[in-house]
């Protein structure tokens, strides 16, 4: 007769053997280990040591200043806005403009972690756990919710390994899926996450190209973590539609018809209607360990088309800028949102095996455009960049006058005289002299695109001037947008003292301050060969599809 102690040991042994057998034949789930660099180690209880931001030795005085600014904004939000979406930094009031899902809190989570503010990070976990993503009588905008909320949860999970974050990301990912239940497969503008009902956006039964192609990074990573095949297939169907589309010069029209997934216009841009879609062509390829050649081919064709068709020089100082075209005619408009492009081109030049001539051209385009974005800041009275400028037209006739690629080819054919390509001479900024552009939208909305490109150019070239330019931008932000409660958008970059707007977008904490911090930290906390930033600056770890995933999703072996 076997005694009770022996029975307990027998049961325990069977459990251990069963567990080992299950792991051997089924494998462990995709769990992400937290980063174990000094900046990312979870600290002991606050009663045991000083808060990590007071004892960190990883940061420079400039980075510390950015972190102090972030804390001012974050503490103002948590104190006065609680779990609402955003803080109103002038009045100290709060507003729910993204379904009341604490969008600023979620957007800021990975910034907290990267800055070593782990106490604040873990203090946020109960709020994250309590949020209900099944909101009655409200419609969640798909694009913004994916990049801010889903991306924020996934990044915070990848950095910390906190299981609740993956659970909530999975909850949200499933709740948003009804947007794909359309005849074409293109996503609807918004969804009621409680009922699954969907709605069109402000352009009716059409959809912006940026909103169709800015979900693949988040959903592919979520598919990898959870094994839910629907996550992959829904977003890959959209990529397939665009891959099969008949487009000119690798460029995609900015608006598409929802019913048949055909272009609805002939306007091409890298600005508000298209920006992150081009970004995700490269980034979904990098995220999956460069395993998806379809996305790579689309990116390379698009980059070529952008450089050859949308890059122009201003007539007086030869400032290099990217614009949009309609029916083939350039508008000469440069949007602040387009200032993400230098960083994207620099990232592609760094990570892809481009032919030498293409590598050179992509680097030139990145450097020249980034400097023009800097000029737009440096020449304003406040030192902050306007939302939109229009460059002067060339006196010569013809709609392609000043097209950059033509002048680059001529310079090369003439023996590269002077050694500096057109558009890269970097004229000294002037606040009083002639400028070959006029400001058409003078607001500054705390946007990140310019400093994002500074960060990526610094990391890919090592040129310290990008850090110095970023410091100028940060000082202007601190001097002209700071309020009692946080930081505010301003109405006119050329009016000092500035007139502020009562808004602090969540992306200011997610993107602008994060990129500035990473620009000034000497250590590469988020290595570009191991992480990919989504379009809201949420870093996700590069991963490899497993054998069964490749078979399930139809990915080439």
Give kind and range of the element (H or E) at residue 25: helix 4-26
Q: Which of 101, 100, 54, 108 is nearest to 76 (CA)?
A: 108
Give kind and range of the element (H or E) at residue 103: helix 103-114
Contact (Cβ atoms closer than 8 angstroms) between residue 338 and residue 322: yes
Q: List, as one string, the DSSP characters of 479-546.
A: HHTB-SSSB--BS-TT-SSPPBPS---THIIIIIHHHHHHHH-SS-SS-TTTEEE-TTS-EEE-----
Kindly name the residue from 387, 388, 511, 549 that is annotated as catalytic.
387
In the annotation, is 387 catalytic?
yes
Kindly name the residue from 275, 292, 388, 511 that is annotated as catalytic.
275
CB-count exposure of residue 393 (10 Å: 0-12, 13-18, 19+): middle
Cα(31)–Cα(9) distance, integer angstroms? 30
Cα(105)–Cα(171) distance, integer angstroms? 17
Q: Which residues contact 280 (CB under 8 A, 6 or more apart)?
A: 213, 214, 216, 217, 535
In the annotation, is 449 catalytic?
yes
Give CA angle at 535 (532, 539), nearest 5°.
35
Report CA-CA distances (Å) from 225 to 187, 215, 249, 472, 546.
22, 16, 36, 40, 11
Kindly name the residue from 85, 110, 144, 492 that is annotated as catalytic.
144
Q: Which of 249, 244, 273 is nearest to 333 (CA)?
A: 273
Report CA-CA distances (Å) from 447 to 259, 338, 507, 511, 512.
33, 11, 8, 8, 6
Largest Cα–Cα separation, the chain:
104
Q: Which two tokens stand for residue 173?
A: 């990912």
Q: Which of 101, 108, 197, 191 is nearest to 143 (CA)?
A: 191
Cα(21)–Cα(15) distance, integer angstroms? 10
Contact (Cβ atoms closer than 8 angstroms) between residue 32 and residue 493: no
Burial 488-518 (b: 16+ CB within 10 A, else e): bbbebbeeeebebbbbbbbbbbbbbbbbbbb
Cα(86)–Cα(104) distance, integer angstroms? 6
Q: H/E/C letters for each residue in 376-414? A: HHHCCCCCCCCCEEEECCCCCCCCCCCEHHHHHHHHHHC
Cα(166)–Cα(226) distance, integer angstroms? 9
**Facing residues of 54 across strands?**
none
In the annotation, is 324 catalytic?
no
Cα(164)–Cα(222) distance, integer angstroms? 14
Kindly name the residue from 335, 449, 503, 511 that is annotated as catalytic.
449
Q: Which residues contact 376 (CB under 8 A, 6 or more apart)?
A: 334, 336, 385, 386, 389, 437, 450
Beta-sheet pairing, 325-326 with 267-268 = antiparallel
Catalytic residue numbers? 144, 275, 387, 449
């Amino acid at each position: 007769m076997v005694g009770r102690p022996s029975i307990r040991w027998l049961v325990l042994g069977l459990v251990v053997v069963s567990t080992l057998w299950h792991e051997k034949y089924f494998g462990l789930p995709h769990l992400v280990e937290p980063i174990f660099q000094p900046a990312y180690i979870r600290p002991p209880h606050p009663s045991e040591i000083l808060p990590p931001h007071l004892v960190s030795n990883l940061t420079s005085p400039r980075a510390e200043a950015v972190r102090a600014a972030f804390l001012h904004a974050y503490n103002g939000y948590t104190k006065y806005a609680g779990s609402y979406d955003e803080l109103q930094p002038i009045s100290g009031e709060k507003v729910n403009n993204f379904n009341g899902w604490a969008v600023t809190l979620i957007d800021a989570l990975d910034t907290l972690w990267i800055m070593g503010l782990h106490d604040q990070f873990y203090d946020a976990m109960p709020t994250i756990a309590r949020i209900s993503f099944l909101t009655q009588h409200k419609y969640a905008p798909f694009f913004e919710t994916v990049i801010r909320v889903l991306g924020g949860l996934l990044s915070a999970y990848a950095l910390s390994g906190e299981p609740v974050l993956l659970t909530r990301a999975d909850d949200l990912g499933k709740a948003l899926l009804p947007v794909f239940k359309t005849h074409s497969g293109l996503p609807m503008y918004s969804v009621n996450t409680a009922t699954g009902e969907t709605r069109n956006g402000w352009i009716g039964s059409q959809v912006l190209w940026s909103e169709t192609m800015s979900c693949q990074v988040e959903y592919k990573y979520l598919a990898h973590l959870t094994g839910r095949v629907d996550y992959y297939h829904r977003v890959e169907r959209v990529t397939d539609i665009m891959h099969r589309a008949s487009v000119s010069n690798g460029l995609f029209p900015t608006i598409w018809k929802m019913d048949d997934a055909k272009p609805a216009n002939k306007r091409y841009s890298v600005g508000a209607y298209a920006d992150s879609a081009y970004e995700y062509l490269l980034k979904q390829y990098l995220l999956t360990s460069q395993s998806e050649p379809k996305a790579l081919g689309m990116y390379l064709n698009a980059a070529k088309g952008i450089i050859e068709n949308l890059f122009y020089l201003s007539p007086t100082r030869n400032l290099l800028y990217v614009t949009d075209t309609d029916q083939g005619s350039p508008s000469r408009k440069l949007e602040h949102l387009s200032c993400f492009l230098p960083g994207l081109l620099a990232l592609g030049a760094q990570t892809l095996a481009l032919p030498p001539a293409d590598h050179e051209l992509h680097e030139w385009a990145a450097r020249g455009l980034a400097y023009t974005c800097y000029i737009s800041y440096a020449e304003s009275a406040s030192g902050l960049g306007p939302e939109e400028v229009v460059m002067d037209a060339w006196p010569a006739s013809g709609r392609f006058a000043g097209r950059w690629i033509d002048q680059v080819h001529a310079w090369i054919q003439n023996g590269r005289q002077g050694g500096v390509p057109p558009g890269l001479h970097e004229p000294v900024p002037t606040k009083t002299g002639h400028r070959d552009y006029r400001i058409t939208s003078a607001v500054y909305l705390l946007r990140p695109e310019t400093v994002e490109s500074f960060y990526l150019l610094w990391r890919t070239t090592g040129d310290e001037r990008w850090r110095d330019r970023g410091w100028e931008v940060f000082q202007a932000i601190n001097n002209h947008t700071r309020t009692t409660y946080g930081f505010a958008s301003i109405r006119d970059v050329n009016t000092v003292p500035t007139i502020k707007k009562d808004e602090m977008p969540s992306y200011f904490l997610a993107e602008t301050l994060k990129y500035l911090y990473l620009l000034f930290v000497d250590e590469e906390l988020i290595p570009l060969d191991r992480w990919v930033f989504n379009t809201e600056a949420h870093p996700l770890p590069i991963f490899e599809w497993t054998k069964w995933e490749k078979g399930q999703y139809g990915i080439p072996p």
